[in-house]
Chain A
Amino acid sequence: MIIVRGLVASLLIGAAFVRPVQAAETLKIASFSTVLTEIAQRVGGAHVTVAGLVRPGQDPHEYQPTPADLEQAADAKLILLSGKHLEHYLDKIQQATGGKAESLAVGDALPTLKMQADPDEPQAKEAADPNGMIDDPHWWNSVANVERATVIVRDTLIKLDQADRTDYEENAKTYLAKLDALNNWAKRKVAELPRDKRKLVTSHDAFQYLARDYGFKIYAIEGVSTETEPSDRHVAELIDDIKKQQVKAIFLENTLNPKVTREITSESGARIGGSLYADGLGDGDGSTYEGLVRHNISTIVDALQ
């Protein structure tokens, strides 16, 4: 009898603990963008569980979803996509989810800048206009765009979960205030650099949106990677451009052939300004969006002064 009473008591206590867990069931989100993962976490707070499928430091251009990633996507109620043709594996996601989850390509709702399509990427070729131009997918390098993306994510969360509307609005307001302060800091930091020195030479054409916001002119080093050995002519033209534009520093990613780097810097007189986070969150400073922006802006301004 004592044993039976004990069992009943245990069951009742157990039930008391189970109820709140069921009540606090969260909205499952699968994110294919490191920046959108952060936005969803900040705005969704305790009401969401976000699976960041493209991980910090991972190249979103090269990412391919694993079967485990697709399983998580199939389990989600909301799928966050970067948009602007970045996800070249959309068909796989659609196949995995059967179109059941709400799919939100945030970048597609943001103003677009155009860039030359990479002829080696079949997906980019398909999306290109008759002049070979495609939408530049690197919208997150503009703080103003990330603010717009936050509003889009907030509104979508409210649509999917009306009950927690107030929390989503409050969380978004807090995050937007931080982004606004970050943008003001960036403007003041960039203002330290005379406008005639705002010339950005990078090994990856990913900073058009940043350039538009803060008055930089971009000179992208295209077709120079560890996989391709650039021609002497290409390098010579690049060196001439750097000299003509009186650029003091160039910004490279680790994909650039070190031999080419040495040649460009020694012969142009420019120096390596540091590495930038081009494709979203990463390790170190770039583990948060605020850290990413502060790192990129400080690195650029300090090197070009």
Chain B
Amino acid sequence: MRGSPLLRAVLVVLALLALLAPLRTLTNRRSEAAPSLQQAAQSSAAKKKIRLELTSTTAPFKYQITSGGQPIWSGESDSPIAATDLELEFPPEGIDLVLDASWVEQKLTAVRLALTPQGSDTMAKTIWGTTNVSEVLTFQQEK
């Protein structure tokens, strides 16, 4: 290659500078995408209107339903059936509800928790106990 050494040095520097921009894009690509994870992680499943119905073969009975570590419905019922409507996140993976119920009389009792998302079929689980029941119940909609 002919030409002055100074000109050749300038050309090399220019070529290196031209490479800088694509290199920077390549190395920063993953970092720029990182915040989207945080945003996506926070966008939880949409809330759905859900009807919960508790049936106990022994009354009166006390009850508490917990979801995600928080009590969402509790009380005492003199009749064998108690029901409520509330809004809950119901992802395709399903939900776990913790059912705690107790009654004074020592008697083998069945407690049924029925869950009906608005516009969907009812799902129900039944558990048995002598003075109380305490269990995690999983509800998943059929795919």
Contact = CB atoms under 8 A, between A and B. Distances in A.
Contacts of B135: 184, 187
B68 A269 contact: no
Contacts of A196: 44-45, 91-93
A195 interface: yes
Interface in B37-54: 37-38, 40-41, 44-45
Interface residues of B, number: 29
Given A242-B37, A269-B37, A195 B31 contact: no
Given A246-B41, A269-B35, A195 B30 contact: no
B69 interface: yes
A100 interface: no
B36 interface: yes
A267 B92 contact: no
A237 to B, nearest CB: 11
SS class, residues of chain B in contact with chain A: mixed
Contact of B34 (A184, A188, A194, A266): A266
B94 interface: yes
Nearest to B98: A191
B91 A195 contact: yes
A215 interface: yes
B41 A194 contact: no
A268 interface: yes
Given A246-B41, A269-B35, A270-B37, A194 B30 contact: no
A190 interface: yes
A247 B34 CA distance: 12
B18 interface: no
Contact of B36 (A187, A192, A243): A243
Given A191-B66, A194-B91, A266 B31 contact: yes
Interface string B5-38: 0000000000000000000000000110111111
Given A215-B138, A239-B30, A269 B93 contact: no
Contacts of B95: 194-195
A267 B31 CA distance: 5
A248 B98 contact: no
A192 B69 contact: yes
Contacts of B98: 188, 191
Contacts of A239: 30
A194 B44 contact: yes
Interface string B67-90: 111000000000000000000010
23 contacts: A188-B98, A188-B136, A191-B66, A191-B136, A192-B69, A194-B44, A194-B45, A194-B68, A194-B95, A195-B91, A195-B138, A196-B45, A215-B138, A243-B37, A243-B40, A246-B40, A247-B41, A248-B41, A266-B31, A267-B30, A268-B37, A269-B35, A269-B38
4 closest pairs, A vs B, by CB?
A269-B37, A192-B69, A196-B91, A195-B93
Interface of A: 184, 187-188, 190-196, 198, 215, 236, 239, 242-243, 246-248, 266-270
